[in-house]
């Protein structure tokens, strides 16, 4: 579905990720973890075609560089961290924007019944259908993140890229969000700070360090005390055990 060969990328001539090679199958769920500054977001931006890169990225066997932006948008959806910069559209209209790549070239460029059906399905999946008429400027951060998730789902992407998707969500919606991701019929690549949520995604885990791949594989193989201590420079497993003891005492 998606393959990277020797991919390097960065900003202002300074490389942030170097020589990244990996393959992701259709339907696979891949959680990307690592400390701040290790290149997680840069990797997503390169895969999304939003950042120049060296090396090769292919989507369904086609070089990403050779595809028009509209083609990429029809296959890859991106949910980034909230920026605070957005216009005052209704919830419904915001999600309908996710259908743009599908009806752009139709006669008159109008939304059809399938577009409306998909918008409804997407809003219902995140529990926001009943708020479809509200202005997004009226929403809390958590509600806004759910609306933007619905917009990416409305695209019906083959690949869904998520950069810290649980930011602004309370614990209930964090857990529900990750559970929903496991059921989506597309490839999901998500950047997580929360290692527990990354493991709950239920697929492979990519552990990054200093712009490269430190480990890639099943969570049981990657999320180990020694690997995490090497990457995060702290006893992550010990910290988790101490936290568990706290909750056990508080039962």
In a domain, 128, yes or no: yes
Binning pLDDT at 50, 70 and 90, where does residue 40 land? very high
Q: What is the pLDDT of residues 65-117, one digit of tens each?
A: 988 887 887 889 888 766 555 677 899 999 998 887 776 655 556 778 888 99
Higher pLDDT, 80 or 187: 187
Binning pLDDT at 50, 70 and 90, where does residue 183 land? confident
In a domain, 109, yes or no: yes
Q: Which two tokens stand for residue 216?
A: 């890639």
d(CA 97, CA 148): 10
Q: What is the pLDDT of residues 213-226, one digit of tens each?
A: 999 999 989 999 99
In a domain, 36, yes or no: no
Give the sheet arrangement for strand 53-59, strand by strand: 14-24, 2-11, 53-59, 62-63
**Which of 21-35, 82-96, 153-167, 235-249 has maximum average pLDDT?**
21-35
Binning pLDDT at 50, 70 and 90, where does residue 228 land? very high
**Which three-class secondary structure state does DSSP give residue 85?**
coil
Helix (H) or strand (E) holding 25: none
In a domain, 210, yes or no: no
d(CA 187, CA 206): 15
- Residues of the chain above pLDDT 90, percent: 50
DSSP 191-238: E-S-HHHHHHT-SEEEEEETTEEEEEEEHHHHS-HHHHHHHHSS-HHH
In a domain, 200, yes or no: no
Instruction: Give the pairing type, strands 2-11 and 14-24.
Output: antiparallel
132 within 8 A of 94, measured Cβ to Cβ: no
In a domain, 101, yes or no: yes
**Which of 69-73, 85-89, 121-125, 168-172 has maximum average pLDDT?**
121-125
Higher pLDDT, 164 or 9: 9
Q: Please report the pLDDT score of residue 241 as a whole number.
A: 87
In a domain, 221, yes or no: no
Q: Please report the pLDDT score of residue 152 as a whole number.
A: 87
Give the sheet arrangement for strand 204-209, strand by strand: 76-79, 159-163, 187-191, 29-33, 204-209, 212-218
Q: Please report the pLDDT score of residue 15 as a whole number.
A: 94
In a domain, 211, yes or no: no
* Count of structural domains, the chain: 1
200 half-sphere exposure, CB direction, 13 A CA radius: 15
> Containing domain of residue 132, as a range?
79-157
Decide: pTM greater than 0.95.
Answer: no
Residue among 56, 2, 57 at smallest CA distance from 26: 2
């Amino acid at each position: 579905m998606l393959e990277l060969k020797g991919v390097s990328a960065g900003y202002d001539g300074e490389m942030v990720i170097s020589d990244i090679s990996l393959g992701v199958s259709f339907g696979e769920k891949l959680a990307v973890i690592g400390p701040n500054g290790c290149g997680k977001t840069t990797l997503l931006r390169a895969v999304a075609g939003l950042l120049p890169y060296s090396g090769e990225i292919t989507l369904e066997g086609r070089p990403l560089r050779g595809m028009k932006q509209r083609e990429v948008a029809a296959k890859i959806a991106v949910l980034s961290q909230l920026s605070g910069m957005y216009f005052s559209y209704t919830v419904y209209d915001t999600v309908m924007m996710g259908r743009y790549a599908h009806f752009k070239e139709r006669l008159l460029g109008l939304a059809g019944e399938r577009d409306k059906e998909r918008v409804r399905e997407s809003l219902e999946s995140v529990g926001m259908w009943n708020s479809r008429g509200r202005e997004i400027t009226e929403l809390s951060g958590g509600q806004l993140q759910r609306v933007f998730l619905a917009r990416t789902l409305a695209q019906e992407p083959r690949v869904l890229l998520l950069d810290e998707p649980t930011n602004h969500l309370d614990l209930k919606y964090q857990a529900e969000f990750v559970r929903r991701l496991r059921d989506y019929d597309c490839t999901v690549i998500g950047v997580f700070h929360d290692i527990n949520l990354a493991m709950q995604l239920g697929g492979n885990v990519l552990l990054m360090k200093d712009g490269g791949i430190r480990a890639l594989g099943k969570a049981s193989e990657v999320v180990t005390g020694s690997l995490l201590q090497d990457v995060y420079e702290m006893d992550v497993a010990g910290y988790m055990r101490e936290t568990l003891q706290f909750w056990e005492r508080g039962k």
